[in-house]
Amino acid sequence: MYNEDFPQQALSAPEQDYTDDDRLSRPDAVQDLLDLAAMTNIADEGDLSEEQLTQIGTRVVEKFQIDKDSRADREPLMDKAMKLALQTVEPKNYPWPDAANIKYPLITKAAVDFAARAYPAIIRDGEVVKVKVIGAGSPEQLQTKKDRARRQSIHMNWQLTEEMPEWEEGVDQLLHCVAVTGCMFKKTYYDNILKRPVSDIIFPEDLVVHKMAKSLERDVATHVYKLHPREIEERIRSGLFLKFDYQNATTNEEHDQKDKQAPIDFLEQHTWWDLDDDGYEEPYIITVVRETGKVVRIRARFEEPDIVLDDAGGIIKIHGTQFFTKYGLIPAFDGSFYDLGFGDLLFGLNESLNTTLNQLVDSAHLSILGGGFVSQALRMKKGEVRMRPGEFKTVHSTGMLSDNILPINHPPPSRCCFSFSGSCWRPARIWPACRTSSPERSTPTRLPSPAWPSWRRAFSSSRASTSACIASCARS
């Protein structure tokens, strides 16, 4: 695996120096691919014309839009669920301006409860990585393997908990967010500036994959990210990006167009493209400016061991390096790529509960304030009348005073609404807990049973991905 943002450096093993004999022993097709893989930016160092780069950029943007449109029904729900979890208060003018606007933290509580139980199940006493010895051998060989496994486990635990300070905090944030959205991602790579592995959290709205994709290994994935002008200039000067006029580039909608320091959106697409014109598409990372489709970088995402050859030296398959790890809570029932979270399962109940509570408060407000009609025969000052305790005011009326005033008695809050609010809350509260042990007890905590199998597989995959990335540093 290579570092995407800075000059090439392998994560899984140190770079190898190949002799001229090695080059002569390889088929020409393989050597051509390795020459491409050795380039920091194929768009700059390769033999690609401006017309070809334009065609590549257009196709990248088109594929991104197709994948984004495929999940058009999913994005609004994720956005609404996240707003409920964040307790975002928006203006409300029904049934009157500034009416009750309660946001009950049902989804928020579910996410916090889930994270509180999942975190100690993943990180126990600072131990995250465990190495299992597989295979037979003599007692001496097995003991040697166990000793090596123990050393690797100690070193990798140190890397995750000490050398990578963002990793533990990122796991905590990921656990809270995956409970809401149902799907989160991590991008693992080697940072050549920090000289260590890095694991970044990516939200589902920033990693666009076709809704019916089966896996990140088989399908195209587009990472949407932002870079400030300073960061763009750094990449141009280091040779990572092609030189382009980013000063006049259009910023995203979240920033003022007059802000010269506003970040610019880029699309980093992990895709396949036939750059050597042999009829077979190889795995590459293509980065373009989102608004214009301008290609700024093309990077191979394969190494020599990823190339599978037949007996005659022909290329059968090329395995693409995977930078992303998917974390899912509950698999989607329709088999789609993005998994379900408490934001999907509890959204309807949370909205119903919010509506019911607001109706109860509005009803109580009307019942307390009162109001009514006053006959014109009652001669008194119009408008608001202030009364002090024990005070009587003189009015002029014809007939009984009660005959000239008709109060409107608003009904008190509905017992039916109050009962319904309890019906919404009782089934919802069992989702995050699922009868797990209390954190205060000495018995081990367990993850929610609906989420545990999927989460365990996702986290195991993450540890495998992270372990592969830092394996070269784990030799002792």
pLDDT in tens, 314-326: 899 999 999 999 9
So what's the pLDDT on residue 405? 82
Mean pLDDT for the stretch of residues 59-76 = 96
Residue 435 has a pLDDT of 37
Q: What is the predicted pLDDT for the residue at 406? A: 83
Mean pLDDT of the chain: 81
CB 251 within 8 A of CB 260: no
Higher pLDDT, 441 or 230: 230
Beta bridge partners of 267: 224, 288
Write the DSSP assignment of 135-186 as a string of letters.
S---HHHHHHHHHHHHHHHHHHHHIIIII-HHHHHHHHHHHHHHHHHSEEEE
Its pTM stands at 0.78
Q: How would you label 44-67 residue by residue, b for 16+ Cβ within 10 Å and e otherwise? A: beeebeeeebeebbebbbebbeeb
**Cα separation of the two ends of the chain:** 21
Strand order in the sheet with 324-328: 196-202, 183-191, 324-328
- Establish whether the linkage from the previous residue to 95 is cis, with ω within 30° of 0: yes
Instruction: Render pLDDT for 237-294 as a digit per residue (tens, 0 to 9).
Output: 988 899 998 877 766 666 666 677 889 999 999 999 999 888 899 999 999 999 999 9
Give backbone dihedrals phi and psi of 11, rounded to 5 degrees, phi first. -100, -35
Enumerate the β-bridge partners of residue 224. Answer: 267
Q: How far apart are CA 64 and CA 72, in angstroms?
A: 13
Domain ranges of the chain: 20-347+451-473
Of residues 393 and 254, more confidence is placed in 393
Structure tokens at 264: 């610019």
462 vs 105 pLDDT, higher one: 105
123 or 226: which leads in pLDDT: 226
Question: Could you tell me the pLDDT band of residue 469, with boundaries at 50, 70 and 90?
Answer: very low
Average confidence (pLDDT) over 24-29: 69
**pLDDT tens-digit readout, 143-198:** 999 999 999 999 988 888 888 888 989 999 999 999 999 999 999 888 766 788 89
Cα→Cα distances 280→189, 216, 277, 314, 328, Å: 27, 19, 7, 11, 32
For every residue of 231-246, DSSP letters joined together read HHHHHHHTTSS-----
**So what's the pLDDT on residue 467?**
47
The pLDDT value recorded for residue 414 is 83
What residues contact 389, with CB distance under 8 A and at least 6 apart? none
The two tokens of residue 213 are: 């994709």
User: What is the rounded distance in angstroms from the CA atom of residue 106 to the CA atom of residue 353?
Assistant: 9
Query: What is the spatial distance between Cα 228 and Cα 274, in angstroms, rounded to a whole number?
Result: 31
Q: Please say if the pLDDT value at position 438 is more than 60.
A: no
> Does residue 451 register a pLDDT over 50?
no
Q: Cβ contacts of residue 183 below 8 Å, gap of 6+?
A: 204, 326, 327, 328, 329, 338, 339, 341
Q: Tens digit of pLDDT for each residue in 194-243?
A: 788 899 999 999 999 999 999 999 999 999 999 999 999 989 998 889 99
pLDDT of residue 11: 39
Q: Are 388 and 320 in contact (CB under 8 A)?
A: no
Cβ of 126: how many Cβ atoms within 10 Å? 11
Report d(CA 442, CA 426) in Å as an integer. Answer: 27
